[in-house]
Amino acid sequence: MKKAAIAILLVLLLTGCWDRLPLKTLHIVDIAGIDQDKENGDIVLNYVVTKLKNVGQGSGEPSPKITVLKGHSLVEAVEQGQYTEQGPFFGMHTGIYFISKSFASDDPVQELTFILKAPYTASNSPVVIINGNMSKLLKSKIGTNKEFTRGLSDFVLSIEKNGIAPEVTLMKLILSRKEPLEDMALPLLKPSNSSMELDGALLFRQGTYTGKELDKDQVQMLMLMLEKYSGNKRYTGNMSRKDEDKKSDYGFSVKKLNSKIITHPESGELPKVSIGVRMRIYVFKFGESVQPFKPEYVNRMEKELGKHLEEDAAATIKTLQKANCDVLGIGQQLKAYHPNIWKSMNWRKDFPEMSIEPNFDVQILNSEE
């Protein structure tokens, strides 16, 4: 009996925690929007915190609130949060780090690095970029759509999950500074009606913006070459055809995709690289033709579509080389599987000059036998 009483007493005494935080005083950040004041260079931090009003059983009305904090650095701006009536703020569940193009262009990693060691912060959340004034954008979107925060979070997760855009977390961006071969493309969003849409991607080399970017179609091509796709994703576009004066629309979904980087050594010269992409697709539109997908017609479609995709892929690769940004991971492949070739190269000098050729092998599955 005495042992039981002691055990109960210990449970009561040990349930507390020295750094515990009352739930009622917590302000969990949904979006951390980071911008840079163009006039004085100060950092502008926009915290979006959503709470529920009119809470009932299993329901409630979302009520997002924006708090704007400023400082000469991001650390200083974060610190201001403890002096406001809306604070303190805790980012352990931060859904998205929303950074402006101006902030991303001015050594963002230097400002962001402290987050890896800061308490109550989330470093494994995705990072996306917008072009424009962060405060005005958030105020406008949230003012007209109370579900904006949730919708934006769902949208960002969906484009990454479905292979529409690269997935880049805050931790990955910060750690890339010390990784010589860790280049990346950060998704760029733009306003669209009451929400946002993908507008392309900014190219980063070791955590630094290269000044170059991919458009939306090039991002799609990049994801195909990276073997990132989803069966739910539909690919559409238009292309020139030999038998038609105007461009023809096409549309397909991918059933199976394989991509492989192949290195061809060249004596006394830089190695040549080919990127082989094998696609098994279902076509739902191809030009204005209404004829059935007979084998001879399908064979011609496969060759024309493959050539068109190769041209788009070559243009995308050219942009990557101009930016000296190896998002495709060619350098990593060379270092791992061709160490002798790698040792003979000056990677950052040689990458923009290399011959990199895409080869697309397209097979249409819904042909009529």
Determine, yes or no, domain membership for 15. no
> For residue 273, which amino acid is it?
V
Q: Are 275 and 362 part of one and the same domain?
A: yes
Give the chain's radius of gyration (CA, Å). 25
The two beta strands, 234-241 and 208-215, are unpaired
Determine, yes or no, domain membership for 2. no
What pLDDT shows up at residue 11? 38
What pLDDT shows up at residue 16? 46
Q: Are 358 and 336 part of one and the same domain?
A: yes
The answer, yes or no, to whether residue 25 has pLDDT greater than 60, is no
Contacts (Cβ under 8 Å, ≥6 apart) of 144:
194
Number of domains in the chain: 2
CB 331 within 8 A of CB 257: no
Give tens-digit pLDDT for 265-305: 888 899 999 999 999 988 887 765 545 567 777 888 889 88
Q: Are 147 and 244 part of one and the same domain?
A: no
What pLDDT shows up at residue 133? 86
Determine, yes or no, domain membership for 8. no
How far is 273 from 355, CA to CA, in rounded Å? 6
Give tens-digit pLDDT for 216-233: 999 999 999 999 876 667
Q: Are 291 and 327 part of one and the same domain?
A: yes
Paired with 31 in beta bridges are: 48, 96
Q: Residue by residue, what is the 3-state secondary structure of 257-288?
A: EEEEEEEECCCCCCCEEEEEEEEEEEEEEECC
Q: Are 323 and 211 part of one and the same domain?
A: no
How far is 78 from 81, CA to CA, in rounded Å? 6
Q: In the predicted model, what is the mean pLDDT of residues 54-73?
A: 74
Q: What is the reported pTM?
A: 0.85
Considering only 20-34, 227-241, 296-310, which range has the smallest mean pLDDT?
20-34
Structural domain boundaries, residue 342: 226-369
Q: Are 210 and 262 part of one and the same domain?
A: no
What pLDDT shows up at residue 232? 66
What pLDDT shows up at residue 65? 83
Give tens-digit pLDDT for 150-208: 888 888 888 888 888 999 999 999 999 999 999 999 999 998 876 789 999 999 999 99
Q: Are 168 and 301 part of one and the same domain?
A: no
